[in-house]
Amino acid sequence: MDISSYQIDFEDAVRIIRKKRYKTIAVQLPEGLKRVALPIVDFLKKETAANVFVSADPCFGACDVLGSEFQGLDVEFVVHIGHTLIPDMKRLPIPTVFVNARSKSDVSVVIKKAIPLLEGKRIGLVSTAQHVHLIDEVQTLLRNHLLEPVVGRGDGRIAEKGQLLGCNFSAAAALVSKVDSFLFIGSGLFHPLGLMLSTKKPVVAADPDTNSVIKKELVDEKDRLLRQRFGAIARANDANTFGVLVGTKIGQQRMNLVLDVQKLLLSHGKQVLLVALEFFSPTNLQGFEGVDCFVSAACPRIALDDYLMYKTPILTPVELKILLKEQHWEDYVFDEILGH
Ligand code: SF4
């Protein structure tokens, strides 16, 4: 199905729904695709004759799957759109198919612009779900320019070769000793910034949707982000009571980390409140008087993306270690949820 600038392939979803004779299904979409909920639901209804609910709750990743609240509506199957499966995530409450939304953009123009900025000959290629299907074509384009593209396989949290998640850079980490620099194909700053911090290699980011290429801007943005994170750690310097944020979404649960963070805080004489929640927002957290600092053991992006929305500082577990002098600031990296 062609939907605006995306190709969304519902073949598997329709086949499963028909085969299993599901009567009631739910569709889960990221914010950016809610505007096309109507044609998608119409299509699924026509093809399967099932009743279709669409979830209005925010959905930021494949870590966030519909659960018991939809079982109560007799939903037998979920069509989760816009993300790829996280293979490590085995226990899904309702059978779910992940349907990627693949960008239809032509990658050749932006790669021509990116090539002169690449450093060295051996280039690690990485991307996100929306553009990862373009990696083969990018490899050919780079080889035509006598470069040596390399694509890495991520860990058990990663579905596609060369794919990054905001919480997982393992497909790049696998290549660090084999490449001179990285080419990120995709949109936004978060992934290329995490890539730079995790690999310490030069990164060029090429966005096939806007045909923009950035390199120097990324370095500036990394410096700005590091200054901001240094400030967040400094603000927590006198904190005594820490709220440890425990994500209840299936793909964000990190109980071992929660216990490690709690143990570390207690060993430094700090007070700990374990705070479990599904959706993080300033409103949900503002009532916890007496908490001087939160540490997020849920989605790593909460502390980094939404920092300015919260009055109380939120640190990642990596930043907490720096605060408690268990790790050096020079070794700063993004928090990651690694798979098996
Ligand atoms: S934990 Fe955060 S970064 Fe990782 S998949 Fe979920 S929403 Fe994305």
Q: What is the pLDDT of residue 10?
A: 97
Q: Look up residue 317 and give its two tokens.
A: 């577990």
Residue 274 exposed, middle or buried by CB count within 10 Å (0-12, 13-18, 19+): middle
CATH of domain 2-101: 3.40.50.11840
Q: Are 302 and 245 in contact (CB under 8 A)?
A: yes
Same fold, 2-101 and 227-331: yes
Q: What is the pLDDT of residue 129?
A: 97
Domain positions in the chain: 2-101, 108-214, 227-331
Ligand 1 pocket, CB under 6 A: 60-63, 165-167, 251-252, 299, 301, 337
Q: Report mean pLDDT in 10-residue bins for the chain, 340 residues.
A: 86 98 97 94 98 96 90 94 94 94 97 98 98 98 98 98 98 97 97 96 98 98 96 97 96 96 98 94 91 96 87 96 98 94
Instruction: Give me ligand 1 centre to Cα 197, in Å.
Output: 18
User: Which conformational region is residue 285 in: left (phi greater than 0), alpha (psi within -120 to 50 degrees), or beta?
Assistant: alpha
Q: What is the pLDDT of residue 194?
A: 96
**What are 301-326's pLDDT values in tens digits?**
999 988 788 899 999 999 999 999 99
**What are 99-117's pLDDT values in tens digits?**
999 999 999 999 999 999 9
In this structure, the residue with its CA closest to atom 4 of ligand 1 is: 167
Q: What is the pLDDT of residue 124?
A: 98
Query: How many Cβ atoms sit within 10 Å of the Cβ of residue 127?
Result: 27
Q: Which of 73, 84, 88, 80 is nearest to 127 (CA)?
A: 84
In this structure, the residue with its CA closest to atom 2 of ligand 1 is: 299
Q: What is the pLDDT of residue 287?
A: 92
DSSP character for 241? E
Tell me yes or no: is domain 108-214 CATH 3.40.50.720: no
Question: Residue 80: in which H helix or E strand, if any?
Answer: strand 77-81
| Domain 227-331 CATH superfamily | Diphthamide synthesis DPH1/DPH2 domain 3 (3.40.50.11860)
DSSP string, 231-280: HHHHHTTT--EEEEEEE-SGGG--HHHHHHHHHHHHHTT-EEEEEEESS-
Pocket test for ligand 1, best of 59, 193, 253, 299 (most atoms within 8 A of CB): 299
In this structure, the residue with its CA closest to atom 5 of ligand 1 is: 61
Query: How many Cβ atoms sit within 10 Å of the Cβ of residue 238?
Result: 8
DSSP character for 124? E
Residues in a beta bridge with 168:
165
Instruction: Give me ligand 1 centre to Cα 246, in Å.
Output: 14
Instruction: Give me ligand 1 centre to Cα 302, in Å.
Output: 9
Which residues, in sequence order, are CB contacts of 283 under 8 Å at separation 6+?
Answer: none
Which residues, in sequence order, are CB contacts of 124 under 8 Å at separation 6+?
Answer: 149, 150, 151, 152, 172, 175, 178, 179, 181, 182, 183, 199, 201
